[in-house]
């Protein structure tokens, strides 16, 4: 195929070598908190200070982090591949953008964005958000991190599903396959006959659904895979 359409899904694993912990990292930020407390609307309603502090810490870490060879290789693929490349990430850091990627689809939101809980207005988040900050549009004290919490609907699903429906290649990188709907993308892509490849350190929950697996660190496997695609 001359110019295959490619859909890529990245997860916390691609940012691990940039020093941002994954969900499972022992002793990491996630290990110190229960998901229900820091990543659900109910947790935010119960203790907004804890949640705002948690994301302030993550935002500060992400602000300092630098992209690794995995992010850089995907930016190269977007720049050099002649067909469509849709880069979808579950990550809320900006390492894809820092590596030079454009049009990154942040399906779980972004640390550098704030959201009004009342009117859905979005604006650039300050490095340190405060509880009860006013929305610049409706002036209600309902600012929150623009993060898709468990129980909320991921963003851009129509766009992602349309791209998956015409995908020739689907790649999942650094994601454990635990969180839906992202974990179901491989099935959607396989359904339309796309080639599917997983690049992960450990086999994901959905590894059996992939045609090809390339185990290892993203900083190694992703540049190799991108080199192979561009050489096709």
Residue among 10, 6, 125 nearest 56 (CA): 125
Query: Near ligand NAD by CB under 6 A, which window of 87-95, 116-124, 126-134, 159-167?
Result: 87-95
In angstroms, give the least distance from the CB of 136 to ligand NAD.
Answer: 25
Which residue in the block uniquely carries the two structure tokens 């002649």? 82
Selected catalytic residue, list 71, 96, 106, 108:
108
Number of residues that bind ligand NAD (CB under 6 A): 26
With binding defined as CB under 6 A, does residue 78 bind ligand NAD?
Answer: no
* Omega before residue 181 within 30° of 0, cis: yes
With binding defined as CB under 6 A, does residue 56 bind ligand NAD?
Answer: no
With binding defined as CB under 6 A, does residue 23 bind ligand NAD?
Answer: yes
In angstroms, what CA-CA distances link 86 with 156, 163, 196? Answer: 12, 7, 15
With binding defined as CB under 6 A, does residue 98 bind ligand NAD?
Answer: no
Of 5 and 154, nearer to ligand NAD (C-beta) is 154
Phi, psi of 111 (to 5 degrees): -65, -30
Of 144 and 217, nearer to ligand NAD (C-beta) is 217
83-120: burial string, b at 16+ Cβ within 10 Å, e else? eebbbbbbbbbbbbbbbebeebbbbbbbbbbbbbeeee
Q: Is 3 designated active site?
A: no
Residues that bind ligand NAD (CB under 6 A): 11-13, 15-17, 20, 22-24, 90-93, 108, 174-176, 178-179, 200-202, 204, 217-218
């Amino acid at each position: 195929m001359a110019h295959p359409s490619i859909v890529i899904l990245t997860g916390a694993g691609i940012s691990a070598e940039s020093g941002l912990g994954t969900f499972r990292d022992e002793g990491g930020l996630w290990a110190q908190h229960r998901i229900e407390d820091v990543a659900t609307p109910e947790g935010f309603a119960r203790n907004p200070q804890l949640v705002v502090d948690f994301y302030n810490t993550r935002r500060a870490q992400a602000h300092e982090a630098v992209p690794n060879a995995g992010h850089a290789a995907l930016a190269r693929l977007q720049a050099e591949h002649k067909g469509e490349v849709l880069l979808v990430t579950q990550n809320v850091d900006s390492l894809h953008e820092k590596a030079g990627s454009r049009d990154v689809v942040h399906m779980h939101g972004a640390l550098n964005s704030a959201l009004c809980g009342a009117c859905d207005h979005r604006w650039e988040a300050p490095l340190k958000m405060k509880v009860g900050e006013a929305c610049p549009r409706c002036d209600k004290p309902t600012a929150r991190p623009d993060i898709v919490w468990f129980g909320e609907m991921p963003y851009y699903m129509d766009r992602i599903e349309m791209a998956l429906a015409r995908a020739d290649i689907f790649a999942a990188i650094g994601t454990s396959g635990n969180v839906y709907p992202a974990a179901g993308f491989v099935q959607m892509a396989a359904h339309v006959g796309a080639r599917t490849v997983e690049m992960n350190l450990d086999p994901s929950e959905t590894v059996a659904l992939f045609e090809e697996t390339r185990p290892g660190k993203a900083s190694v496997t992703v540049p190799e895979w991108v080199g192979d695609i561009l050489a096709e």
